[in-house]
Every structure is written in C-alpha cells, then in structure tokens.
C-alpha cells in the first residue's frame, strides 16, 4: 500500500477513536455530538480517498469517489451545526430551518450518487486514479460547499460581534484554524479537480489533523469544559 494512503487510513482510525472518547465523555452535549459528526465525516473522507487511490478496479474507484464527496457534504452540514452550538447556542432549529438545511444536503446526495451527474467513470493513469467529473455536477457541488461555508462563518462572525473576553478569543481561534483547513481543503479537492488536476486530491485530509485536534483541545480546555460539561 502506498504510504500516503496508509497514513490516511491511520488518521481515519485515530479520528474514530477520538469520536468514541468524546461521546463517552458527554454524548448529550450538542457541541460534542455536532463536532463528533464533523470528525466522523473527516474519517470517512480520508479513508475513502485512500481506497480510491489504492484500488485498480475502476468501478470500485468510482464508488469510493462518490463516498468521499458524500463525506465532505456531511462535514459541511455538521460544521454549521457545530458553529451554532460552540461555544454557546446562537439559535434553536425550528422544523423549517432543519428542512432548509437538509433539502440541499439531500439534493447534493442525489447529485453525488447519480450515475452520471457528478462522476461518470474513473480512470487509472501512471500517476494514479482520476475521477472523470462532469462540470455541471462539480459546479453544483461547489455551490453547495460554499453556501454552507458562508453560513458557517456568518454564524461565527455574528457570535464574534456579540461576544467578549474569553468567549470572543475562543471564537477567533475557531475562525482562524478552520479557515486555514477549509482553504487547503477546497483548493486541493474542489479548485484543482475542476481545472483537471486530480493528482493532489489526497492532500486535503492531511490539513484536517491539526484543526480537529486543536478544536477538540478547545472544547475540552478546562475553562471551556465548564460551559459544556
């Protein structure tokens, strides 16, 4: 197995262990449950990317490609819920708000797993595997991704304006670390593929490691912990 794929699998396994540890700590906390979903999405993203890169069966590669796009879609929804809950809840989710959130998620899931809307087929080259993406599907996915990304940062900046002291510093840290991670993620997994460069698709998950463990540290920091546990 290629070393870069092995590392992705190891990272994914560590994420699953982290999720188990967090949920055992307090599975009733909306902060922990929403962040756990982020981490599980990241685990599935990295693992499915490793499987996509490793297999020489193009039908399997196509299936894994759809799974890692789905995992990324889950991450975006989960991050928005996390932004709403951390470090305090900004608003409650009514039925209409939940419907407004999950309809785009269901729609992009249909796009992802449709036989030809996003990924028609995978191909193997000397440098590795390539998922033949349709421009329309990729644009729809990019719209979905950036819509949730904007919503995520809009929530955090709204909290930032209302907060002060320790809480404000906490929000600034979350904004900065996730902005860096998202920047690398959409560069290697959205921008480069849309211009035909699939060689670095595996790089994105590597930049989640520092973000995930730093956010976990902030959640369980002794001062923050008093607020959620």
DSSP 115-158: TTTSEEEEEEETTEEEEEE-HHHHHHHHHHHHHHHHHHHHHHHH
pLDDT band with cut points at 50, 70 and 90 for residue 227: low
- In this predicted structure, the answer to whether residue 156 has a pLDDT above a threshold of 60 is yes
The mean pLDDT value of the chain amounts to 88
Q: 24: helix, coil or strand?
A: helix
Could you give the percent of the chain with pLDDT greater than 90?
A: 51
- In this predicted structure, the answer to whether residue 217 has a pLDDT above a threshold of 60 is yes
What's residue 89's pLDDT?
Answer: 85
- In this predicted structure, the answer to whether residue 229 has a pLDDT above a threshold of 50 is no
Beta carbons of 64 and 51 less than 8 angstroms apart: yes
Beta carbons of 224 and 87 less than 8 angstroms apart: yes
Express each pLDDT in 32-61 by its tens digit. Answer: 999 999 999 999 999 999 999 999 899 899
The helix or strand, by DSSP H or E, that contains position 76, with its residue range, turns out to be helix 58-85
Express each pLDDT in 157-200 by its tens digit. Answer: 999 998 888 888 889 999 999 999 888 888 888 788 877 777 88
Where in the chain are the domains? 3-228
Express each pLDDT in 85-139 by its tens digit. Answer: 988 888 887 777 788 888 999 999 999 999 888 988 888 888 778 888 888 888 8
Topology classification of domain 3-228 = Rhopdopsin 7-helix transmembrane proteins (1.20.1070)
């Amino acid at each position: 197995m290629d070393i870069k794929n092995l590392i992705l699998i190891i990272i994914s396994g560590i994420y699953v262990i982290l999720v188990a540890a967090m949920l055992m700590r307090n599975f009733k906390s909306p902060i922990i449950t929403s962040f756990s979903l982020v981490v599980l999405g990241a685990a599935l993203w990295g693992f499915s990317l490793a499987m996509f890169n490793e297999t020489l069966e193009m039908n399997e590669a196509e299936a894994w490609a759809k799974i890692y796009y789905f995992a990324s879609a889950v991450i975006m929804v989960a991050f928005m819920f996390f932004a709403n809950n951390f470090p305090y809840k900004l608003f409650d989710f009514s039925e209409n708000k939940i419907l407004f959130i999950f309809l785009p998620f269901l729609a992009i899931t249909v796009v992802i797993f449709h036989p030809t809307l996003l990924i028609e087929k995978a191909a193997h080259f000397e440098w590795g595997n390539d998922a033949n993406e349709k421009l329309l599907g990729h644009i729809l996915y990019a719209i979905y991704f950036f819509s949730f990304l904007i919503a995520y940062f809009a929530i955090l900046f709204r909290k930032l304006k209302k907060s002060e002291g320790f809480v404000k510093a906490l929000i600034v840290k979350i904004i900065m670390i996730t902005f860096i991670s998202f920047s690398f993620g959409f560069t290697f997994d959205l921008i480069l593929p849309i211009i035909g460069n699939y060689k670095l698709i595996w790089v994105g998950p590597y930049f989640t490691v520092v973000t995930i463990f730093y956010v976990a540290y902030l959640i369980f920091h002794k001062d923050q912990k008093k607020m959620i546990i």
